Amino acid sequence: MFFILFLYFLINVGAFPPPKITTDVHQIQEHASIGKFIELTASENLVLKCAGRFDDLMFVFPNLEDHVGFDKDDYNNRITEEFDDDYGDKKLEISNVKESDTGYYYCKSEEQHSLNDSIYVFVHGSSIFVPLKPAGFMYNYGDVKVPCKATKFFDKSYIELYGNGEMIKDARKNYNHVSGFTLTKKMYEARPITQVPFECKYTGNPTTTTSYLITERDSKDNSEKEYSLFWEESTEWPYVGVNYTLTCHLMYNGTGPFHHFMNSLHVSCPACSDDEKNRVTSHRGRLKGNSINAFVKIDSLLADDSGEYTCVWKKEDRTEDVVITKTIEVAPKKGQIRVLEKSPDVVRVKEGEPIELSARVAVYPPENDEYKAKWIRKYTTPIKEGNQSEPIINDANRSILNEEKNFQFFESLSFKDSNTFANSSGTYILSIVHSGTVQNLEWQVAVDSKDVKAKISIREPSSFVVFDQPFYPPNTELHIDCISESIPPATVKFVKRKIRERSSFDPIDESELQAVSGTFENGYIWKTTIKDDIEVQCQAFRGSKKKIVTKRIQIAEKEPTVTRKIVKNEAATQAEDPKEIYEGDEIALDCMVPYDENWSVMWYFKDKPIETDEFVEAYSKHALAKLSNVSPSQSGEYTCVVSAGENEKRLTQNIQIEAVSIPYHTQSDPEKPVSIKYGESTELQCNLIGRPMPDYKWLKDGEPYTEGEVINSNLKITRVRAEDAGEFVCRATNRAGSTDHKIKVTVAGTPDSYWELYSTILIIFLLLSFCCTILLVVYFCKERRKTARQSQALNEFTEMFMKATTEPQTEALIKMPLDRRVYQLPYRTEFELAKENLEIGNKLGQGNFGVVYMGWLSKARVNSEIDERIRLPVAIKAPLRGYNVNHQRMLAEELKIMCAIGKHPNVIALVGAVTKNMRNGELYVVVEMCENGNLREFLTKFRNNFTNELRSVTIENQDDYLKPKSAERSRYAAENDENWEKERLLIDNTAKLCTSDLISFAMQIANGMEYLSQVPCVHRDLAARNILLTRNRVCRVADFGMAKRHEDKNYYRVSKNKEVELPLRWMSIEAIEERKYTQESDIWAFGIVLFEIFTLGGNPYPAVSNCDLLDYLKTGKRNSRPQYAHEEIYELMTKCWELKPENRPNFSQCVHFLKNHLKAASPSLLEHIDNEIRKDAEKQKQLEQWLQPEQDSSPSSLTQVCKPGTPQETERIYISDITKQAK
């Protein structure tokens, strides 16, 4: 029955945790010698809450009878107790507390007394010590208690104890704020106490003393004085793995006989056993001289051996046992750090008051070179993200002290010259490392500031600064911080006003503000787009303290600049240099500065002001100075002076004004005649020059001469004629006037008769006509023979193309890539389309061998009037020249490959073909229309509208706390910010392109190539230009054989076969050297495609020429990492470019890898693309309904073949989504 009751007790005790004392009003602190405590000032109200899963909670109050000022009735009248909530929590409130209320307050369950919690309450009034009623304090032979209890918590360095007027030096270490001093026997046995006056002295501010008289107590039973009960352990530093013995000693110190048989000892522990075979054994009392002992022996300590060990002394003539306990903490390893003393965990002082944080620790094993310690301060600030960490060193403000004695280390941090401010607040950490063990001691420090501080800061850099005023471009997005520094926090207001409107300050809309706070700061961040000059004000209030700061935020399109505009004189000529200034011109000097009503702007010349006009344009103020009809005397430096109060900025403009002169001769004999030869080329020189440079005009015999060419001032005659003899005049004209240079010209060697010349010309003309006729006859004959040969070759090729292979294909042939057995592939006639159902539109593009048109396809079988009007947009490929056999062969081979590979949503789908009239040069291959064109051009369009979703993250390794290591890696924005997916409008947003889209393109291309590799089909020309994009950004691998002509010759290199161009920069080394094309060479090209995608259409190997490319690759060099590529994606690129083909990944591995990256970057986009691919697969299946129907001769058939009429005859319905028709 007793066992059942005991079990019931254990179940009930363990069912609920003990009650807990909390408070929402006061700050709870904790110290090892006291436990939890609260510090109050007299006349405050004490509010405590006792929380627990009990319905019988009660508060237990301290015994205050010996406190001066305690009145039981008054005390009870000030107490209010009430239930706080449905769980039975108890709330205690004591109003107008007094020093006499100091003591321990308990909360417990009435039924389960062992379940309780306590808190000590200090109430500080006029005295540092609790006033006690006069009484004679006695001691019990052993320890002496001097009850100088404190009314507040303070550092023990401020307390001293005097006995008989002499200071007891070692007493301080045994002081407790709750009970006072405890003097051990060693401290006073040399001076037997009968009656001693003690004095407790507090040396802080103000100095306080109190006195006590201690007398020896008479005892009726002195037997206990003759015994000592104490513990002895094999080591003070138990740790896992070491052997450990804990012994309990009972020693007899009396003069009479020791009756050991009347005393017994027993030691119990968490894992004790009487079986000596167990790891933990308990041994009962053993006699040794005048003492007996009992001990626990533990082989190889475990962490579970931690706990309370109990020694019970039973004495036959005593009704009550004597019990002592010892708590053992088993450390996980040999290296240990033990805190012996620590200053209060929570420190709150006023600005300028001293702060000292200290701790005394002991370490094991005793090795000084293994001990390291450092101080750190951690705090938060709204200006920076995350927790801030500041290593603390000795400097002008802080002092660090480290002392060691007997492997006990004293560490302290103090502030010099009372340099404590609100921004000194934070969590101070003393990090100690010893023999691989790390222990961090923390203090919460708060410094109440005398005044409040406020500041305004703008996170974005300004465009420029003038007079310490930053300026920003219009429509700049700014983050403006209004931050107050204050403890306790201040109330912050953020207001603004428009400068030009001279309006009053108005509060900023709260919806635009983000409230932020830190350890000692609080305020707001205003994210705004600035469109007007504004003035913001940050106001901080705390009680009567106030701080207001103001900042102007102004807009400007440009920095202050000066420009000049030259208005030429109306007499100026076209030959004048427009940048040169000549006398008579007009100059407009413009000094443009940002608009500010407090700035003045004025032009000066030679320190004298110039008349200046001002006007305001948008965000700028212009100061104009006009100089009319200028002269060389006005040359010099013009200065624009911008003034704002005592500040001044000078901008200068140098003006050089040239004098003018009428053109003049440069030769002494300007009228000298000139003789020129008939039929030859000659040049007449005009030796006139002036300022400005004149216009030159040549005349002959008074009329403008138009047969020659005027070069600068000279006249060039290509072939001299007889009629060129006569008087030439060179007329030079500038704004100063005109001057003529006359030259008399004679022509030497003129023929006597013109008939001879004309006869010669006629004979030459007739000979040329005869030769041209002969050449034309020869050309037409060759063309007829060439046309006949082409017609025959077309007939032979058409017969070979249409002839299907009926022989069974071997397994080896089936496994051979399609491009290597294209001649064995049949053309599948079910893809044949009727030419009359195909409408050809505008040309979309052209290559060396083919051309692509926009087109529309009508249904081959219609069942309604609506079906008859429906058109499917398609792309139509045709040979560049239909009668050229090579052109037809290139397109026909691609057609056969597309027939064989089937349909896949990431591969361009064949709709059908028109082949019946190939003999006459007509071959049309009809494929899907991809509205977004090829991938490379699509990427380049978004280079200026791209969102990079990669974020750089620093990864720290704390292997050695004194040597932190870090590395930067990329992470996607969605991994760091769970709201990124909601804010990012990616899906169906055609105006933007993000990193997630790039990964999606790469994954889809790998998906399509994986399908082709299973056919198998080697593409040979995989590149971003050969990837097409649908309206919904689904990729289609395209172009299985048609060569393209590109303006950028870096794309292709011409091989020995002049008609074949090679995509050199996309080819693997073995493909370049051996013309060996495999799936592994396609993997190499896929790596290049990844480079194109993540450079937004960049050119591979941009700094390497085609001639040097092969040598470049053989040395192991490859493309560098693109800006927008994750490190892991670049690693995939480099694996695709492995020298040995067998070391490259396959397309299945690429699909899996890229899908994982897309899932990390944008799970919603991955889901969206998967849905789009499934939809496109269904759309491709429905393309069969557009093919030519089978012939049905049944008279009951109601189906008819549609022949599109002209636009006037038939109303067309064009569709871009065939699923609409399916519905």
Between CA 601 and CA 599 the distance in angstroms is: 7
Relative to beta strand 737-748, strand 1213-1214 is unpaired
- Element of type H or E holding 935: helix 935-941
Beta bridge partners of 742: 729
Between CA 320 and CA 318 the distance in angstroms is: 5
Confirm whether residue 1039 is marked as ligand binding: yes
C-alpha dist (Å) from residue 926 to 116, 612, 798, 1151, 1190: 87, 72, 19, 29, 19
Which of 89, 117, 1021, 1082 is flagged as catalytic? 1021
Closest C-alpha to 57, from 3, 13, 112: 112
Confirm whether residue 1025 is marked as ligand binding: yes
Relative to beta strand 636-644, strand 647-655 is antiparallel
Cβ neighbours of residue 996 closer than 8 Å, sequence gap 6 or more? 949, 972, 986, 1158, 1161, 1162, 1165
- Name the 3-class secondary structure at 886: helix
Residue whose token pair is 């760091």? 976
Using alpha carbons only, give the angle 245, 251, 253 rounded to the nearest 5 degrees: 155
Closest C-alpha to 1134, from 1121, 1146, 1124, 1147: 1121
Confirm whether residue 852 is marked as ligand binding: yes
Confirm whether residue 1026 is marked as ligand binding: yes
DSSP 1086-1098: HHHHHHHHHTTSP
Phi, psi (degrees; rounded to nearest 5) at 82: -155, 160
Confirm whether residue 914 is marked as ligand binding: no
317 catalytic residue (yes or no): no
Contact 90, 58 (CB under 8 A): yes
Confirm whether residue 847 is marked as ligand binding: yes
DSSP 63-116: --TTBTT--HHHHHHTEEEEE-STT--EEEEE-S--GGG-EEEEEEESS-TTSE
Amino acid sitting at position 405? K
DSSP 785-838: HHHHHHHHHHHHHHHHHHS---SPPPHHHHHS-GGGSGGGPPP-GGGB--GGGE
Confirm whether residue 53 is marked as ligand binding: no
E strands in 1024-1074 = 1027-1029, 1035-1037, 1053-1054, 1061-1062
Confirm whether residue 846 is marked as ligand binding: yes
Query: Could you count the other beta carbons within 10 Å of the beta carbon of residue 215?
Result: 13
Polymer length in residues for the chain: 1223
Closest C-alpha to 1178, from 1211, 1210, 1223: 1223
Contact 388, 353 (CB under 8 A): no
Between CA 921 and CA 21 the distance in angstroms is: 98
Buried b (16+ CB within 10 A) or exposed e, 886-924: ebbbbbbbbbbbbbbbebbbbbbbbbbbbbeebeebebb
Between CA 394 and CA 408 the distance in angstroms is: 22
Q: Detail the residues annotated as belonging to a binding site for Mg(2+).
A: 1026, 1039
Q: Detail the residues annotated as belonging to a binding site for ATP.
A: 845-852, 877, 1025
Which residues participate in catalysis according to the annotation? 1021
